[in-house]
Chains A and B, each alone.
Chain A
């Protein structure tokens, strides 16, 4: 039955080769999940689109954004909030792998175990790229008029991806620490909701009470939003650009080794 020309025995390869090929295999796994389970992508896209329309038409008229139009102000906020919510899919995916036993299978294989996390995080980047493109499309239909040139578009995309990457790794920590899939769901909800609303995503921070305003103006999500906004519609960038990058890189520098550690410790 065995075809003589094909070897069905394991082949040897270098440690580095393993890291790349296992990561590629697991990335393919998570991308296939998107394809086999399109509902998830759909619900991820629908929420920000709904927010976009709600804020644009229901609240927009009552919010004063100074020089720029409200849709122009809003789009950066929606993109960042969508990316943050989207990246919590990693927490859910990691928790599901741990709770439903497939992690036992992975851990009994001679593989590079962090590839499991890399697969989830990479799938987040792909999902968020798709959903961000859709959100920008919807924005354009309801009056979003970006002024960015090609370089600014690329920088904006870079910051959004870097932010997604950072949140995905942070949410991998959440997935590794949580005791149940439901806990992940409510925790990512109560973490992301206040953080994205207590920012400059939907309204300028000027009107907030002093303490909240200080928080909103100095928290990382605002830096990311303001950097994106500046690149897309030309609002002043101030320190936001490099602060956004520093925050994201810092989060990645902490969370990548931490997830690797937690992952190895799991079930010891």
Chain B
């Protein structure tokens, strides 16, 4: 049950030199819930996470974790958090098991406690077979799993996950979602960042959309979808010629066109009469519609609506391997 806020961020500001990358960010994460911080490349997600996990100092505003100020009580903050950064922070020349044991000791577990947690986590993250191999020989996905396992070794109540599934194949991504869901069931408070709308939608209790250093919308997935206000009608034309004609005829709120897929979509009030009007005007013009679908707005639509540009427009997946060369 909700019993206060685990993470509170108020008017948070951060500049690198003259570039202001956080321009007053406000966030709260209730105890035992997950907030997804959703935003495109360069939005400031990692910067927020680094400030909250005491790796970076901020220039203005306040940030507290479990009631501890990140600027003045960094040791207290560190003892209640687990951090899985954007790039795996593991020791390349130790084996998976050695990594876990070392971090367990540094998290102040007893030697026996660290050993027991290490075995549990190796099991849970499907790393038993690779446990005695040096991490240098791990694949990107294995590194990520180990990295997450390490941050859980002391069962911290508050967990930061910075793009935990970026660079994973679909199967590993689903496996990671499972792990994250289990963490939530165990009562942890989680701040997760992602560029994937679907991920935020699937996992999080609340979503904060961040763009260019500002939170531009906040709420549950449904609340955000309601902001867009209406259903969307998506029409796929039979030929390019049909598409060209239809592009001139169809009009409506928030119109999007995808010439390659010959798709036009608009917001509709959802009423049958509006639908009819569109279809008959196309029929009168001799345009053949191949398929038609009506769907609830996705978070993609939300993002487009809020920022005027798509969230995944500059799709770019940092290759995990690459960062270790």
Contacts and interface: CB of A to CB of B under 8 A. Distances in A.
A32 B135 CA distance: 13
A239 interface: no
B69 interface: no
Contacts of A11: 108-110, 113
Contacts of B199: none
B148 to A, nearest CB: 12
Contact of B56 (A32, A106, A110, A267): A267
B120 A10 contact: no
Contacts, number: 100
A22 B106 contact: yes
A104 interface: yes
Contact of B108 (A13, A33, A102): A13
Given A10-B79, A22-B106, A32-B98, A105 B89 contact: yes
Contacts of B117: 8
A247 to B, nearest CB: 33
B150 interface: yes
B57 A109 contact: no
B76 to A, nearest CB: 8
Interface in B88-114: 88-95, 98, 102-103, 105-110, 112-113
A101 interface: yes
A2 B53 CA distance: 28
Contacts of B83: 104-105, 108
Interface string A92-123: 00000000111111111111000000000000
Interface residues of A, number: 35
A32 B116 CA distance: 20
A37 interface: yes
Contacts of A33: 93-94
B106 A106 contact: yes
Nearest to B82: A108
Contacts of B88: 101
Nearest to B323: A101
B193 interface: no
A33 B150 CA distance: 19
B105 A7 contact: no
A13 to B, nearest CB: 7
Contact of B105 (A2, A25, A100, A106): A25
Contacts of B55: 104, 107-108, 267
A105 B108 CA distance: 14
A2, A37, A108, A267: residue with the most chain B Cβ atoms closer than 10 Å: A108
A8 B106 contact: no
Interface residues of B, number: 41
A29 interface: yes
Contacts of A267: 55-56
B134 interface: yes
Contact of A108 (B81, B102, B108): B81
Main secondary structure on A side of the interface with B: loop
A6 B57 contact: no
B208 to A, nearest CB: 22
Contacts of A8: 109, 113, 116-117, 154-155
A9 B93 CA distance: 27
B303 interface: no
B109 A109 contact: no
A118 to B, nearest CB: 13
A99 B79 CA distance: 24
Nearest to B124: A1
A149 interface: no
A145 interface: no
Contacts of B75: 110
B14 to A, nearest CB: 12
A268 B116 contact: no
Given A11-B110, A36-B134, A108 B54 contact: yes
B78 interface: yes
A21 interface: yes
A59 B56 CA distance: 55
Contacts of B89: 101-105
A110 B79 contact: yes
A102 to B, nearest CB: 5
B258 interface: no
A1 B79 CA distance: 24
Contacts of B141: none
A115 to B, nearest CB: 8
A110 B91 CA distance: 18
Contacts of B105: 21-22, 25
Nearest to B134: A36
A5 to B, nearest CB: 9
B29 to A, nearest CB: 18
Interface of B: 50, 53-57, 75, 78-79, 81, 83, 85, 87-95, 98, 102-103, 105-110, 112-113, 116-117, 120, 134, 150, 154-155, 323-324
14 contacts: A6-B110, A7-B110, A8-B117, A12-B108, A22-B106, A25-B105, A29-B91, A36-B95, A104-B85, A107-B54, A108-B55, A108-B78, A109-B107, A267-B56
Given A3-B116, A9-B113, 12 more contacts: A7-B110, A8-B154, A25-B102, A25-B105, A101-B88, A102-B90, A103-B89, A108-B53, A109-B106, A110-B108, A268-B56, A268-B57
